[in-house]
Amino acid sequence: MRFGIRRSDYLIASQVLASISLTWALLVAFDALGAFINELDEVGEGGYSLATALLYVTLTVPRRAYELLPFAALIGSVLGLGGLSASSEITALRAAGLARWRIAMAAAMTVCVLIVGMVLSAESLGPAGDTRAQALVVAAKSDDLAVSTRSGIWAREGDVFLNAKRGALQGAGAMAKLVLEDLRLYEFDQDGALKSIAHAGTAEHVGGNWVLLDVRRTRFGERSVEASHLDREVWNSRLSPELLSFSLMRPRYLAYRDLREMSAYLTRNGLDASAFEAARWSRLFYGFNILVMCVAVMPFAFGSLRSGGFGKRLFVGIAAGLCFFTVQNLSVSMASVYHIHFALAHGLPSLLLVGLGLLFMRVRRRLAR
């Protein structure tokens, strides 16, 4: 076996890369356009302008590219190899002695390069862009709310300033509640002098009020300082949890390090960390799932798509991608409900797809005989 790069590898890689790039660009463009159209309904709210909406969508493009690469890689691989098969170039390569695994490897290595680029983007450009976009929207829509990449969420209600280092939505649907961690309340008098500082480990919005847990409060007098500690304190505030929840970063937008830290923090404090664990394992299986999908559909390009044309190849790519992601989302949802490890939930659909691909190839070989 020879593993050096051949001219045929460049031919296959260039064809697959061109197909993936075109498909990827179209998917990202349509997704960004749809997001921009949705943002038009918010234009005019506070200082949220058309230019702000356009900048917001632009900042989220790296994250959208990351999320759409699996579909682009799947459809592009099928189109690229199917195009070579339709023009009989794969037949010529096979007649020259090139094995099918070598053709598949050349296509898979092209996909691997794109995966590495997107993994690096997901840990740098993606989270940075989403954080900046979120802060931009929050600042434009509300004068009393701000988001900082270093100091967390800032909000104001009257003479009280709130700062929360982290926040998360616990539960789902009607049972969802907003939980803020590492919270500080700065209270000022009418003259601008600091009256008190309260630090709470967590804060939950319950029954229309904010419930502060593990509260350490320091009150400042003219010539005195008084410190107190309460396990639980109710803060009568009209600060909207809906407005604050809008400023929170969703788990799938965070870098892997932040997902791991947030998951560990919630677990230590007895809170639900399933959303962050699901996003963390999804990040770990990102490249593996893309490769499995692409390799699983490559056998179609060696024969059954040779005479099917563009439409048939496109249909196979889209159908395979939708089926895979539907099964995987169902698997992850069931893992969250029944407390199954997310590694199994993400890995099982991929192994199932590999098994179906191997079965398909074995059946084809028997029929060919």
Report pLDDT digits (tens) over 98-117: 777 788 888 889 999 999 99
Region of 311 please: left (phi>0), alpha (psi -120 to 50) or beta. Answer: alpha
Q: Cβ-count burial of 229 within 10 angstroms (0-12 exposed, 13-18 middle, 19+ buried)?
A: exposed
Do 16 and 80 fall into the same domain? yes
47 in any annotated domain: yes
Q: Is 216 helix (H, G, I), strand (E, B) or coil?
A: strand
Distance CA 24, CA 61 (A): 12
Report pLDDT digits (tens) over 216-228: 999 988 788 889 9
117 in any annotated domain: yes
139 in any annotated domain: no
Q: How much is the pLDDT for 308? A: 54
Do 193 and 229 fall into the same domain? yes
Report pLDDT digits (tens) over 270-285: 767 888 888 899 999 9
Share above pLDDT 70 across residues of the chain, in percent, rounded to a whole number: 83
Q: How much is the pLDDT for 56? A: 93
Average of pLDDT values for 281-295?
Answer: 89
Q: Provide the pairing of β-strand 177-188 with 194-206.
A: antiparallel
Model confidence band, residue 28 (pLDDT cutoffs 50, 70, 90): very high
Do 109 and 211 fall into the same domain? no
Residue with tokens 């229309």: 208
Residues forming a β-bridge with 163: 154, 184
Q: Is the pLDDT of residue 68 over 90?
A: yes
- In 3D space, the residue among 256, 264, 321 whose CA is nearest the CA of residue 121 turns out to be 256
CB of 71 closer than 8 Å to CB of 321: yes
Q: How much is the pLDDT for 120? A: 95
Do 230 and 332 fall into the same domain? no
Do 287 and 237 fall into the same domain? no
Q: How much is the pLDDT for 252? A: 80
Domains held by the chain: number: 2
Q: Is 172 helix (H, G, I), strand (E, B) or coil?
A: coil
Q: What is the DSSP letter of 221?
A: -
Do 105 and 19 fall into the same domain? yes
Do 168 and 202 fall into the same domain? yes
Do 34 and 69 fall into the same domain? yes
Which CATH number fits the domain that encloses residue 213? Answer: 2.60.450
CB of 133 closer than 8 Å to CB of 60: yes
E-only strand ranges, the chain: 145-148, 152-157, 160-170, 177-188, 194-206, 209-220, 225-235
Q: Mark which of 223, 250, 277 sits at the end of a domain.
A: 250
Do 227 and 286 fall into the same domain? no
- In 3D space, the residue among 50, 68, 49 whose CA is nearest the CA of residue 60 turns out to be 68
C-alpha neighbours within 13 Å on the C-beta side of residue 159: 11
Do 245 and 275 fall into the same domain? no
Average of pLDDT values for 164-172?
Answer: 69
Model confidence band, residue 1 (pLDDT cutoffs 50, 70, 90): very low
- In 3D space, the residue among 265, 272, 277, 275 whose CA is nearest the CA of residue 201 turns out to be 265
Domain residues for the domain of 52 are 7-124+269-368
Q: Is the pLDDT of residue 333 over 60?
A: yes
CB of 324 closer than 8 Å to CB of 259: no
258 in any annotated domain: no
Q: Provide the pairing of β-strand 225-235 with 209-220.
A: antiparallel
In the sheet with 194-206, reading across from the earlier edge strand, the strands are 145-148, 152-157, 160-170, 177-188, 194-206, 209-220, 225-235
Q: How much is the pLDDT for 302? A: 61
Q: Is 46 helix (H, G, I), strand (E, B) or coil?
A: coil
Q: Is the pLDDT of residue 345 over 50?
A: yes
Q: Mark which of 196, 222, 250 sits at the end of a domain.
A: 250
Do 17 and 110 fall into the same domain? yes
242 in any annotated domain: yes
Q: How much is the pLDDT for 33? A: 96
Show the DSSP H helices in 6-47 as ranges.
7-39
Report pLDDT digits (tens) over 126-157: 988 988 888 788 777 766 566 665 667 888 88
Distance CA 59, CA 134 (A): 9
Do 175 and 280 fall into the same domain? no
Query: Over the chain, what is the mean pLDDT?
Result: 81
195 in any annotated domain: yes
Average of pLDDT values for 353-363?
Answer: 73
260 in any annotated domain: no
Model confidence band, residue 286 (pLDDT cutoffs 50, 70, 90): very high
Q: Mark which of 217, 250, 283 sits at the end of a domain.
A: 250
Region of 163 please: left (phi>0), alpha (psi -120 to 50) or beta. Answer: beta
165 in any annotated domain: yes
